[in-house]
Structure 1
């Protein structure tokens, strides 16, 4: 069956794309259907609704957008392996993991939310991205299993889809009173806020590419996000942990439930931990072992991860807990039952991450560069025949490049790439030497027809950079991007190509209200992190020759800083005071937080007596006009501007 494309200038799959799809389908292990049974096992109930509204009134979550996947139709515009994964992720509702003890709600957000029955209530693991989806999940659990209070919350790691919905399951007053502990790995708070602030605006922009936040839901657009359907667009918050898991292995008993935590820093997140339930023979794998090989480099932007350390921590878990485990469940995907099956999956993922590290560096040590590795490195055949080794959330190509980048950096060793021209600088020369736009367009049409989409991209990208206003060039590049997107097993890569194609045709979509931060996240910044972020926002050209030294005192928590402006740069150092400052600002942490979230201004704080300022602050007051307010509407592809058709705010972006 042929479906209409969502975009008026969108294209159907070419014959070359269809041939590639048939070739990869023939190589996939479709005879292994154990995941299908495991994804459905333990199903108890699904709610009647398929949408969850945000408090702001828009749709925060809509699993119904993906109902086109529920039938048996084979979609030519979706990689057959990705289509399988997308259907597995359609399981929606309440599931029993360990009878009488452990339950999950799946399909309400990108992540799963898990409920462990304790003596008197629920221990909640990973309360999703948004308050609204987490609250809906808790209501579903209480409706079908009996209402019980939440007695503890556990964050497995420092990514927003695992803590952002905490306000939906627990009252912050109960946390602050000590009635409900919030447990997290050491370093959680630092990494949770820094990742979302320092590069937060750029990450939000890039999320439209990796996560396809505003792509049409359908066979030509967004179909899945590998570890779940997508990210809920509700109210993101953060309740700070009250209990840190500090030791490599640390045991706690909460309301009668014994839990052994395994800290796994440097794996999927810089602060992450697995959990073993010895009395239930259940192993919680956090986001370290899910139904895909993950990102070593995540396309939205983050520090490159350590594939070797990831493998080592899986190996430790295998020998610490995997010998006894009878069920393994995680913050994404579905559980695995039976010790033999659990050990199979653990070994498969351990070996895949280890081979990625070792195989790539084996080639790098023979001269294969970062610009070649993704065309040379191959996953062993034995792993390619296992669904647990398929790279849905990551991709073999960009993960291989990430490993080289981690060890050797972005330079390939060729001096001609050491000081490269910007694409817009070099592109006109390429276009001139290729004979101009008409010859490039004619050749690109031939390449696309022959299925040489990457070669078409190579020349069309030069043309679009040289002539951003050339609509025919943008449209043809979009066509090539679209075909490449259809061919991708990884939705992150698929979405990136399809999102770029959309922007080339229609501009940056309006209605992109995504936000990397929320008031909770901003308040969680340390004073040093807040000052560091101000330094990032400073436009050094606008700051000019301004110079000044400010002593900052945060009296109620005993913090002191020297903040200095010089050479167009803002620096700060904690634990010191200048003997001869230009000015001294004295403030409480609560007043500073109101300033941080924009609830007040510095003059208002001073007028209200909530802060005092001594000396000459003119150098710092002048900086107010030099601080840039970042907005996620900057162009990525040449010739694109925020002038496309309006997109309603019911996608899967982060909404503060």
Structure 2
């Protein structure tokens, strides 16, 4: 339960934060049309893909001492569920069906959909509810605002790919969409999915002591993620496209929340779509599930561009998460607030770095100015001031703090036994940790208990003590990234790695969409180099249907590839169409199947292919993060 120290911290936040500003609550309810009778959506595979009802405890009107009051406020705001009108008769949103919103634009003859959620099942339910309440209309276009799965994964729930191929339905995306949508989820995809379980708390119980929110929505749907490639790419900085009578002015904003992302202005409606660049929270500069560090200054500048391009002619601003803001003054206020918080984060961190503050200190030093702390749109619910400040410093100076002692550090599990020995053993450490815990010094308790659990992964009492400290820290945090990580860590220490349906970043569609380059690069990552030691061969790969050719070379227990070449001294040449290669990628066929069917031709020593495949590993999606949490098979 929340300790007295946690309760006091929570009480202090309730009295110091600007709770008198209730405009977000008014705006989040504005335009409500209807909610469906159901609060649960089933996956086609038979499990629950989405359960909005699991968060109904937030609607009891209680203040919970196990939830930071600012985060509880955000979690209640994200309980919006159903169909909403944004621009009378023209623009609508379905909220609360997935992590993101689906936006519906009424064209002359049909619907234009902006961002189609994570899963086929939730997207299908959302569109069905729209047609039920607003009248049946065909989908004439889909817009992907950016390259993250919760914005395109539900495509197959709202359109038939045959209609896309025939030109009946257009799919529009920013430049670089396909590259980033796939590559971000491939190279370190297994590790990212595992880390997602911690930072998104996807398998935490829904309760005041567990998962309460994901800052930009409730959580991620655990359904069928798909991908239909775009038919049209927005490549200019500012590009105007009219579809079905709806004029759209796209603003490319690469390097902001995603490496490929775009905002949209609707001149006819005086409405600005902010994608995921301006939402109800300060976002991640470094997302803890894993991704390239983002550029806080570029993010701020792109918001500033939007402000000066569209701000003075916008009556409503809405986005792929959170709720709209109405009125020109209000729109510009939120734009400026988020522009300034990202710029302040970048500039103040670098100011401190130039005074000698290191990456291991900055998170205890950086705080936004009071003027921003008093504005809800500058609060870090999805990101956190702690890990975002470290990310900015890492972007410019890297992970090293310039102390030679940290240049080649011991691995934590190697250094931990030394610390435990020098501290006098487990009993002394646990006694000291209990004293620290009773004093409300939870980070100090974590510091020594972490060493003990690494040294003694079977020490259940130590793991329970560490979980106790993690829980108090989780309850105290405003950021869901930090809250979830602490609480999920506590859960795993007590119960082991959880099982259950968890959101996935991969799917057959994602696999098929991999470029051949990406596929061969990934094979090099999944290769066990110890098994490959001593192997040496070259394989030519040719795909006649799209005219690609590659050399795949094994040398020095390393697999490399080069496009546009064939080796004259190749040990094996494989010829097959790219379309047939996709059946192997998606698991529908094997090389043997295609060879027997005459679709794949192998010329040379087929044994080298067997050698190659013998090195390939399948990654464990539930690998151990915290010591002693891996369950026996």
**Residues 225 and 504 of structure 2 are in contact (CA less than 8 Å); yes or no, is this contact kept in structure 1?**
no
Q: In structure 2, which of residues 5, 9, 13 is the aligned counterpart of residue 24 of structure 1?
A: 13
Supply the RMSD in Å over aligned alpha carbons.
0.9
* Cα deviation code 1:156-183 (max 9, x no counterpart): 0000000000011111100011110100
Aligned to 1:4: none
Give how far 1:616 is off: 1.4
**Residues 572 and 608 of structure 2 are in contact (CA less than 8 Å); yes or no, is this contact kept in structure 1?**
no
Aligned to 2:491: 502
**Residue pairs, 1:396-475, within 5 angstroms:** 396-475=385-464
Give how far 1:617 is off: 3.3
Q: Which consecutive unaligned segments of at least 5 residues does structure 2 have? A: none
Aligned to 1:367: 356
**Residues 360 and 403 of structure 1 are in contact (CA less than 8 Å); yes or no, is this contact kept in structure 2?**
yes
* Cα deviation code 1:525-554 (max 9, x no counterpart): 001001011111000001111111111101
Give how far 1:618 is off: 2.2
Give how far 1:599 is off: 1.2
User: Partners in 2 of 1:391 and 1:92 — Cα distance?
Assistant: 23
**Residues 283 and 325 of structure 1 are in contact (CA less than 8 Å); yes or no, is this contact kept in structure 2?**
yes
**Residues 527 and 617 of structure 2 are in contact (CA less than 8 Å); yes or no, is this contact kept in structure 1?**
yes
Aligned to 1:296: 285
**Residues 47 and 501 of structure 2 are in contact (CA less than 8 Å); yes or no, is this contact kept in structure 1?**
no
Q: In structure 2, which of residues 108, 121, 124 is the aligned counterpart of residue 119 of structure 1?
A: 108
Q: In structure 2, which of residues 474, 478, 488 is the aligned counterpart of residue 485 of structure 1?
A: 474
Q: In structure 2, which of residues 127, 136, 140 is the aligned counterpart of residue 147 of structure 1?
A: 136
Aligned to 1:180: 169
Give how far 1:512 is off: 5.1
* Cα deviation code 1:251-270 (max 9, x no counterpart): 00001000000000000000
Secondary structure at the residue paired with 1:557?
A: coil
**Residues 548 and 620 of structure 1 are in contact (CA less than 8 Å); yes or no, is this contact kept in structure 2?**
no
Aligned to 1:74: 63
Aligned to 1:134: 123
User: Partners in 1 of 2:505 and 2:340 — Cα distance?
Assistant: 34
User: Partners in 1 of 2:126 and 2:609 — Cα distance?
Assistant: 48
Give how far 1:514 is off: 4.6
Q: In structure 2, which of residues 624, 630, 633 is the aligned counterpart of residue 641 of structure 1?
A: 630
Aligned to 2:539: 550
Q: In structure 2, which of residues 147, 151, 174 is the aligned counterpart of residue 158 of structure 1?
A: 147
Aligned to 1:650: none
1:530 and 2:519 aligned:
yes
Q: Which consecutive unaligned segments of at least 5 residues does structure 1 have? A: 1-11, 645-656
1:520 and 2:509 aligned:
yes
Label 1:514 to 1:281 Cα distance change in 2 as closer, same or farther (>3 A).
closer
**Residues 149 and 505 of structure 2 are in contact (CA less than 8 Å); yes or no, is this contact kept in structure 1?**
no
RCO (CA 8 Å, sep 6+): is it higher in 1 or 2?
A: 1
Aligned to 1:580: 569
Q: In structure 1, which of residues 602, 621, 646 is the aligned counterpart of residue 610 of structure 2?
A: 621
* Cα deviation code 1:432-464 (max 9, x no counterpart): 111110011011111111110000000000000
* Cα deviation code 1:400-423 (max 9, x no counterpart): 000011111100000100100001
Give how far 1:57 is off: 1.2
Q: In structure 2, which of residues 244, 267, 270 is the aligned counterpart of residue 278 of structure 1?
A: 267
**Residues 509 and 643 of structure 1 are in contact (CA less than 8 Å); yes or no, is this contact kept in structure 2?**
no
Q: In structure 1, which of residues 381, 385, 406 is the aligned counterpart of residue 374 of structure 2?
A: 385
Label 1:350 to 1:514 Cα distance change in 2 as closer, same or farther (>3 A).
closer
**Residues 79 and 486 of structure 1 are in contact (CA less than 8 Å); yes or no, is this contact kept in structure 2?**
yes
* Cα deviation code 1:234-291 (max 9, x no counterpart): 1110000000000000000001000000000000000000000011100000000000
1:358 and 2:347 aligned:
yes
Secondary structure at the residue paired with 1:197?
A: coil
Aligned to 1:561: 550
User: Partners in 1 of 2:303 and 2:157 — Cα distance?
Assistant: 31
Q: In structure 2, which of residues 80, 83, 92 is the aligned counterpart of residue 91 of structure 1?
A: 80
User: Partners in 1 of 2:418 and 2:338 — Cα distance?
Assistant: 46
Aligned to 1:511: 500
User: Partners in 2 of 1:168 and 1:511 — Cα distance?
Assistant: 23
* Cα deviation code 1:57-105 (max 9, x no counterpart): 1111110000001121011100000000000000100000000100000
**Residues 201 and 515 of structure 1 are in contact (CA less than 8 Å); yes or no, is this contact kept in structure 2?**
no
User: Partners in 2 of 1:429 and 1:524 — Cα distance?
Assistant: 48
Total equivalences in the alignment: 633
Q: In structure 1, which of residues 193, 201, 206 is the aligned counterpart of residue 190 of structure 2?
A: 201
**Residues 541 and 573 of structure 2 are in contact (CA less than 8 Å); yes or no, is this contact kept in structure 1?**
yes
Give the structure-2-normalised TM-score: 0.99
Give how far 1:26 is off: 1.9
Aligned to 1:222: 211
**Residues 53 and 59 of structure 1 are in contact (CA less than 8 Å); yes or no, is this contact kept in structure 2?**
yes
User: Partners in 1 of 2:522 and 2:575 — Cα distance?
Assistant: 20
Give how far 1:374 is off: 0.3
Would you identify which runs of 4 or more consecutive aligned residues in structure 1 move more than 4 Å? Answer: none
Give how far 1:323 is off: 1.1
Q: In structure 2, which of residues 243, 255, 258 is the aligned counterpart of residue 269 of structure 1?
A: 258
User: Partners in 2 of 1:624 and 1:32 — Cα distance?
Assistant: 61
User: Partners in 1 of 2:88 and 2:292 — Cα distance?
Assistant: 39
